[in-house]
Amino acid sequence: MPSSFHTLTILAPGLLGASLGQAARARGLARSIRVWARRAEVRLACAQSDWCDSAHADAQEAAAGADLVVVCTPVEHIVPLAREVSPVCAEGAIITDVGSTKSRICREAAAVGGRAVFVGAHPMAGSEKSGMEHARADLFENRTCIVTPLPSTPPAPVDRVVRFWADLGMRVKTVSPEEHDEIVAHVSHLPHLLASILSVQLAGKDPEWMSCAGQGLRDTTRIAAGHAGLWRSICAQNREEILRAMEGFEEEWQRLRSALHNQRDFELERLLERGKRFRDSL
Amino acid sequence: MPSSFHTLTILAPGLLGASLGQAARARGLARSIRVWARRAEVRLACAQSDWCDSAHADAQEAAAGADLVVVCTPVEHIVPLAREVSPVCAEGAIITDVGSTKSRICREAAAVGGRAVFVGAHPMAGSEKSGMEHARADLFENRTCIVTPLPSTPPAPVDRVVRFWADLGMRVKTVSPEEHDEIVAHVSHLPHLLASILSVQLAGKDPEWMSCAGQGLRDTTRIAAGHAGLWRSICAQNREEILRAMEGFEEEWQRLRSALHNQRDFELERLLERGKRFRDSL
């Protein structure tokens, strides 16, 4: 028996928000699903879909009386939108989000006041594609969602948010916003930047070379196709943790470079072997 | 009408060599296919397969009278084996290989003497898996093969080697061994080392973190699962070009790090955008 909400409002239905709407409808998690979208063509597409009951040009109108609001905008807009809709939600409503960074968002959103409680979340789903045309009801299934309450967040709304994401088929993990940001700096943001910089370097080479590129390069760089503006915001919001993760990478990288440069080939092999064991265990 | 050889000898049938045997048989590229394998169980598996006519424990026995020999060993064994079999091949035979590095191999193999001509090749196929149990007849189809003649290599054997790989379904590109090594240092060896070192770094973190890892990390690190010993040899053979590629990477990496550290977020976005454009074009 899923935890059900009366009115779910999705702010900014892109890939994640529209997938969320489809999944919530398919699983019966809300009686009514409303969206707010800035662009008229997105509102039209939502209104014509079978998962959306109404599409609004005004965020307060979309969230009026809602008992669950999910903010699906780029990270820098999450807190301003939470501030805007919190006074018009149902009393005791929950606002959650899908942002890839959490410390700053959760700290600032806790202070917005209004009628709602903010409980941060980061569903680790999505892809290098963006836009609601790529949305699918099964996007969240068997993926991990990290829910990041503050010590001051009341337990009942945390439980409901945990249950909401679990009802979407996700494996839910609860950690502090700070730990979340440290983890994703390493397992998501750093890999993204490595893929991007490798791509930047290769962009400066003879395009003919790329006919020699195999599946390895394609896989290693796939995430570099992500939206640059979104990633600029993520980097800005998680700057310190990302810089720390970059430093950790550089230490190991210099160890490798030194082994290669000084012909300590078996030390190099041990490093590669350590990486292989990790990757095999993933 | 494929270019046909009388006797094809495959030295060391692992993933690439056994796939080559299957593909050559399927496409009728040789009347007889022989292998040399060090391990008795590999010889047995080959002898029981429908693509192999005889399996030998002695490389000279396997290559006696052959008009095409393909050396499929790790890179450091290619030249010694070419030296061993060249005196017993058919007069004017061709020896080619599948090694991931070319400058040193082609230079040294040109000097082995005997009855055969060496024409280096690097079929860009395979995967992080190794061993003949993963072999498939279509491994080479629509992949790129780089053939790397020296200025002194006679044109007729080069043409036959180009045609042989093309007959296996590959797109064949001819470049000098030196250019090959510069290209693969960038499009293959550098990505591999980045994936490995990212894996090494993450191996030192809380294993619980990995429940937060998404498909992005899996893709970015996939090639780190490659055989560490093979990659030690590749690194040793292409040391100078790899070190140069690493330096080029570090320059762009420091540009990113400086932009992030100094909050020049739009410079960072421009870098990411450049990487994205490259990846989108792949």
Dump pLDDT digits (tens) for B38-65.
999 999 999 999 999 999 999 999 999 9
Do B170 and B251 have their domain in common? no
Dump pLDDT digits (tens) for B96-106.
999 999 999 99
On the question of pLDDT at B3 being above 80, the answer is no
Do B226 and B104 have their domain in common? no
The answer to whether residues A185 and A241 touch, using CB atoms and an 8 Å cutoff, is: yes
* A9 closest CA partner among A61, A50, A66, A85: A66
Do A110 and A82 have their domain in common? yes
Q: How many CA atoms lie within 13 A of B151 on its CB side?
A: 2
Report the relative pairing of strands A120-123 and A144-148 from DSSP bridges: antiparallel
A141 and B CB contact within 8 Å = no
Do B187 and B170 have their domain in common? no
Do B17 and B148 have their domain in common? yes
Do B162 and B183 have their domain in common? no
Query: ipTM value of the model?
Result: 0.84
Provide the residue range defining the domain that includes B277: 179-281
CA distance B144 to A181: 41
Size of interface A-B (CB pairs under 8 A): 275
pLDDT for position B131 = 84
The backbone torsions φ and ψ at residue A150, rounded to the nearest 5 degrees and listed phi first, read -85, 160
CB contact under 8 A, B214 and A239: no
DSSP per residue over chain A, as a string? ----EEEEEEES-SHHHHHHHHHHHHTT-EEEEEEE-SSHHHHHHHHTSSS-SEEESSHHHHHTT-SEEEE-S-GGGHHHHHHHHTTTSPTT-EEEE--S--HHHHHHHTT--SS-EE-EEEE----S--SGGG--TTTTTT-EEEEE--TTS-HHHHHHHHHHHHHTT-EEEE--HHHHHHHHIIIIIHHHHHHHHHHHHHHTS-GGGGGG--HHHHHHHGGGGS-HHHHHHHHHHTHHHHHHHHHHHHHHHHHHHHHHHTT-HHHHHHHHHHHHHHHHH-
Do A166 and A95 have their domain in common? yes
CATH classification at residue B71: 3.40.50.720
For residue B278, the chain A residues in CB contact (below 8 A) are 199-200, 202-203, 221, 224
On the question of pLDDT at B274 being above 60, the answer is yes
CA angle A250, A252, A253 (to 5 degrees): 60
pLDDT for position A112 = 87
Do A147 and A273 have their domain in common? no
Q: How many domains does chain B have?
A: 2
Using the 3D structure, point to which of B176, B199, B231 is the last residue of a domain.
B176
CB contact under 8 A, A187 and B202: yes
In DSSP terms, A171 is beta-bridged to: A144
Do A159 and A185 have their domain in common? no
Do B164 and B199 have their domain in common? no
A243 and B CB contact within 8 Å = yes
* B196 closest CA partner among A116, A54, A256: A256
Residue-wise pLDDT tens for chain A (282 aa)?
A: 456 899 999 999 999 999 999 999 999 999 999 999 999 999 999 999 999 999 999 999 999 999 999 999 999 999 999 999 999 999 999 999 999 999 999 999 999 888 999 999 999 887 667 788 889 999 999 999 999 999 999 999 999 999 999 999 999 999 999 999 999 999 999 999 999 999 999 999 999 999 888 888 999 999 999 999 989 999 999 999 999 999 999 999 999 999 999 999 999 999 999 999 999 998
Other beta carbons less than 10 A from residue A229's beta carbon:
14
Could you give the maximum distance between any two Cα atoms of chain A, in Å? 68
Question: Chain-centre distance of CA B217, in angstroms?
Answer: 24
CB contact under 8 A, A276 and B228: yes
Q: Who among B197, B211, B228 is closest to A249 (CB)?
A: B197
Using the 3D structure, point to which of B153, B176, B199 is the last residue of a domain.
B176
DSSP per residue over chain B, as a string? ----EEEEEEES-SHHHHHHHHHHHHTT-EEEEEEE-SSHHHHHHHHTSSS-SEEESSHHHHHTT-SEEEE-S-GGGHHHHHHHHGGGSPTT-EEEE--S--HHHHHHHTT--SS-EE-EEEE----S--SGGG--TTTTTT-EEEEE--TTS-HHHHHHHHHHHHHTTPEEEE--HHHHHHHHIIIIIHHHHHHHHHHHHHHTS-GGGGGG--HHHHHHHGGGGS-HHHHHHHHHHTHHHHHHHHHHHHHHHHHHHHHHHTT-HHHHHHHHHHHHHHHHH-
Question: Helix A239-261 to helix B239-261 angle, to the nearest 10 degrees?
Answer: 160
Query: Nearest C-alpha of chain B: how many angstroms from A62?
Result: 32
Residue with tokens 């030296």: B83
Looking at every residue in chain B, the average pLDDT score rounds to 94
Mutation target among B182, B278, B280 for the A interface, most CBs of A within 10 A: B278
CB contact under 8 A, B274 and A203: yes
Using the 3D structure, point to which of B128, B146, B176 is the last residue of a domain.
B176
CA distance A248 to A233: 22
Question: Chain-centre distance of CA B232, in angstroms?
Answer: 14
CATH classification at residue B266: 1.10.3660.10
The backbone torsions φ and ψ at residue B4, rounded to the nearest 5 degrees and listed phi first, read -110, 145
The answer to whether residues A194 and B256 touch, using CB atoms and an 8 Å cutoff, is: no
* A261 closest CA partner among B233, B199, B236, B196: B236
The answer to whether residues A138 and A23 touch, using CB atoms and an 8 Å cutoff, is: yes
Q: How confident is the model at residue B114 (pLDDT cuts 50, 70, 90)?
A: confident
pLDDT for position B128 = 61
CA distance B169 to B136: 13
CA distance B81 to B100: 16
Which of residues 70 through 129 in chain A touch B, CB cutoff 8 A? 124-125, 127
Strand-by-strand arrangement of the B171-174 sheet: B120-123, B144-148, B171-174
CA distance B46 to B64: 18
> What's the predicted TM-score (pTM) here?
0.85
Do A239 and A103 have their domain in common? no
B240-253 burial, b at 16+ Cβ within 10 Å, e below that, comes to ebbeebbebbbebb
Do A141 and A190 have their domain in common? no
pLDDT for position B127 = 65
Side chain identity at A218, as an amino acid letter?
Answer: R
